[in-house]
């Protein structure tokens, strides 16, 4: 099963992805994670991306598309994939559709999550993340057993610097300007 899940920051893509992955034996692919992994592993694509990031620029669509294609050709994607938050723009979507068809991995299902701005504010500002193991909590909806401490590894939880109302407004403007659905 080849699935895209789309929605604004805080819409619940990660939560829904977890539920989908319980049903299907497919990898969860986040372009942000993939980008960080390529940079961390110093791949050719990662080196190119790092140059843009160091200059404070967005990584171009062509580079992101190349990373996605490379990732979808890995053996764990034989049964399908769950692509999280990509494509984000019409240009990315058109390039992705052509690429996915060319490599024999066309999209079979799209989930588009719609959430009110007030709900997004609550979700984003209450989100806490473990910097060590990546576990995600929410101060009210999914609190850790010991306040501010990760249940999984015992590290101190953090709030992402961009998990603010101001940054959410910026991200929502960007999302609304480029939304596909």
* d(C-alpha 86, C-alpha 95), whole Å: 11
The answer to whether 82 touches 20, Cβ cutoff 8 Å, is yes
The answer to whether 2 touches 81, Cβ cutoff 8 Å, is yes
Where in the sequence numbering do the catalytic residues fall?
13, 88, 127, 160, 171
Residue with tokens 């929410």: 138
* d(C-alpha 162, C-alpha 165), whole Å: 9
Q: Give me the count of residues in the chain.
A: 181
**Residues pairing with 162 in the sheet:** none
């Amino acid at each position: 099963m080849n699935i895209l899940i789309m929605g604004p920051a805080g819409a619940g893509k990660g939560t829904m992805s977890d539920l989908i992955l319980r049903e299907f034996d497919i990898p969860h692919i986040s372009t942000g994670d993939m980008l960080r992994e390529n940079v961390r592993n110093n791949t050719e694509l990662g080196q190119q991306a790092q140059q843009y990031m160091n200059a404070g620029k967005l990584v171009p669509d062509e580079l992101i598309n190349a990373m996605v294609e490379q990732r979808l050709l890995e053996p764990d994607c034989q049964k399908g994939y769950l692509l999280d938050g990509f494509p984000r723009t019409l240009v990315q979507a058109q390039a992705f559709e052509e690429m996915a068809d060319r490599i024999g991995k066309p999209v079979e299902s799209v989930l588009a999550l719609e959430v009110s701005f007030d709900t997004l504010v609550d979700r984003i500002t209450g989100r806490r993340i473990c910097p060590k193991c990546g576990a995600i909590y929410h101060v009210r909806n999914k609190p850790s057993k010991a306040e501010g401490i990760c249940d999984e590894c015992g590290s101190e939880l953090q709030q992402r610097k961009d998990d603010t109302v101001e940054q959410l407004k910026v991200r929502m403007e960007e999302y609304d300007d480029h939304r596909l659905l």
